[in-house]
Amino acid sequence: MNTSSLTKKVIVGGTGLLLAVYLVLHLAGNLLLFAGQRTFNAYAASLIANPLTLPVEIALAAVFCAHLVQAIAVTVGNRQARPTPYVIRTPAKHTSRRSVASRSMAVTGVLVLLFVPIHVWMFRFAAAPVDSAMGVRDLHSAVVGAFQSPMVAVAYAAAMAVVGLHLWHGTSSACQSLGLSGPRLTRWIQAIGRALAVGIAGGFVVVVVWAFLGGGQ
């Protein structure tokens, strides 16, 4: 592996872990929906008013773009290194890290790329009612109302399943790219990564189901 390829993988791994941390924080904020309209709207208003929010959003967008560009570069490089695909695929042994999640990283990555702009538009820039009691955007009602549409709820839950599948392999792969590997350490990283994938995807889906069933009304 040449230095350029190694550097790209380190960038993909590092940015991937940063995005995973962001998802944890984002989920924690979304779980405040359960605390009620006033609490969630106050939380959302504090983020909007915080002068650090815009720089953080710009930095997050830069991290996302770096992850995307370098992931594409790594994928293209891998395919150029092996231009002829294997004719016969043999089942992976128990020691192999190949799985549905690892084989579908490019596909799930593209699906996440398609989902992110829609998600940002719906909940960051689209019009929202005003909380008359607090004089701020009523994002609690906007989020709950959006998920009460069966089409939106199903699409969002499916998107979260894709995110979970991407994280299922992506977290441990990122750690390996950063040099965090070894017989015992790898098993722990895989277990933590998979728990993180299930927790993040499951947490967001729980919010969707709760809102769809009339939570917060």
**Start-to-end C-alpha separation, the chain:** 56
Position 134 scores a pLDDT of 87
Q: Which residues contact 61 (CB under 8 A, 6 or more apart)?
A: none
> For 150-167, what is the mean pLDDT?
97
Instruction: Work out how many domains the chain is built from and give that number.
Output: 1
CA 213 vs. chain centroid, Å, equals 24
**What DSSP designation does 136 have?**
E
* Residue 140 located in a structural domain: yes
Could you tell me the residue range of the domain that residue 53 belongs to? 3-82+99-212
* Residue 50 located in a structural domain: yes
Q: Which residues contact 188 (CB under 8 A, 6 or more apart)?
A: none
* Residue 148 located in a structural domain: yes
Q: What is the pLDDT of residues 5-15, one digit of tens each?
A: 889 999 999 99
**Residue with token string 């231009």:** 83
Q: Are residues 33 and 40 in contact, defined by beta-carbon separation less than 8 angstroms?
A: yes
Q: How many CB atoms lie within 10 A of CB 213?
A: 12
Burial of 156 (0-12, 13-18, 19+ CB in 10 A): buried
Q: At 94, which amino acid appears?
A: H
Q: What is the pLDDT of residues 72-131, one digit of tens each?
A: 999 888 777 765 554 444 444 444 557 888 888 999 999 999 999 999 999 888 888 888
Residue 205: pLDDT above 90? yes
Tokens of 94: 């128990």
* Residue 181 located in a structural domain: yes
Instruction: Specify the pTM.
Output: 0.86
